[in-house]
């Protein structure tokens, strides 16, 4: 069974569209994350979500919004897509249930390659 | 601010050679965590190791070993008797969970192992 899954694996869309990427984890973890990996392979944290508390990286445009229907899911919604949003987006999860995040190991999904035309 | 430096952008070795991937970090926190991840050509991120700042013991796992030295703020990764399947991008990462609530990845080192 896949521990952290993402759908879709590939997403090609036009500028200006709105799209969502889904993430699910079956590890029973309390914290989930979204990362962006650019064309130079640089990984950067976008969001972390723990116990209904959302921590947003200040550099993330507000066109990006994570939505968590329950503890096992953290979906990423992107409005008004721009060319610069093209990247690979990774979802991750960790146990981190002490109120502190980033202490436990993060397990990553397979990534979603987003291409904005 | 915390920072992770992987100065080696690309390394190429021949199979069976030993190779060391360097990672130097910068933090003001006394409690922090260090990680290594592997990203093979297929693209997924595979967890390799997690080490907290209070545990300076070196670790060996099969052909993989890690050398953590707080005195030089380094957490280097060595692959012994490299194999073609070791070809990947390797990322070192640092989390400062008690102050900044942040996770920073290095730029990655692309390792190519040739047969």
Distance from CA of A84 to the nearest CA of B (A): 19
- State the pLDDT at residue A57: 78
Q: Is the pLDDT of residue A113 over 90?
A: yes
CA nearest neighbour of A101 among B72, B28, B53, B98 = B98
- State the pLDDT at residue A1: 63
Q: What pLDDT band is residue A100 in, cutting at 50, 70 and 90?
A: low
Q: Residue-wise pLDDT tens for chain B (115 aa)? A: 569 999 999 999 999 999 999 999 999 888 899 999 999 999 999 999 999 999 888 888 999 999 999 999 999 999 999 999 999 999 999 988 676 667 889 999 999 999 9
Integer Cα distance of A48 and B97 in angstroms: 12
User: Which site among B39, B103, B107 would you substitute to test the A interface, given the most A Cβ atoms closer than 10 Å to its Cβ?
Assistant: B103
pLDDT in tens, A57-96: 778 999 999 999 988 999 999 999 999 999 999 999 998 7
Q: Do A25 and A44 form a contact (C-beta atoms < 8 A)?
A: no
Q: Do A92 and A109 form a contact (C-beta atoms < 8 A)?
A: yes
State which residue of chain B sits closest to A54, comparing Cα positions: B101
- State whether residue A41 sits within 8 Å of chain B by CB: yes
pLDDT in tens, A30-48: 889 999 999 888 899 898 8
Q: Do B40 and A110 form a contact (C-beta atoms < 8 A)?
A: no
Classify residue A37 as exposed, middle or buried by CB count within 10 Å of its CB (0-12, 13-18, 19+): buried
């Amino acid at each position: 069974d896949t521990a952290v899954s993402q759908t879709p694996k590939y997403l090609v869309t036009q500028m200006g569209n709105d799209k969502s990427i889904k993430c699910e984890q079956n590890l029973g973890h309390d914290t989930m994350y979204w990362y962006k990996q650019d064309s130079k392979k640089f990984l950067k944290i976008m969001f972390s979500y723990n116990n209904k508390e959302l921590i947003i990286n200040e550099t993330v445009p507000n066109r990006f919004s994570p939505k968590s229907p329950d503890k096992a899911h953290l979906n990423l919604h992107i409005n008004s897509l721009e060319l610069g949003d093209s990247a690979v987006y990774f979802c991750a999860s960790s146990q981190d249930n002490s109120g502190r995040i980033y202490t436990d190991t993060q397990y990553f999904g397979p990534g979603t390659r987003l291409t904005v035309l | 601010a915390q920072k992770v430096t992987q100065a080696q952008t690309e390394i190429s070795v021949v199979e069976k050679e030993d190779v060391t991937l360097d990672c130097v970090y910068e933090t003001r926190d006394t409690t922090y965590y260090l990680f290594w991840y592997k990203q093979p050509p297929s693209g997924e991120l595979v967890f390799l190791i997690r080490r907290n700042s209070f545990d300076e013991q070196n670790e060996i796992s099969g052909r993989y070993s890690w050398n953590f030295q707080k005195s030089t703020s380094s957490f280097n990764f060595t692959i012994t008797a490299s194999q073609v399947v070791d070809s990947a991008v390797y990322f070192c990462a640092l989390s400062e969970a008690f102050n900044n609530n942040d996770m920073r990845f290095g730029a990655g080192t692309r390792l190519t192992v040739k047969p």
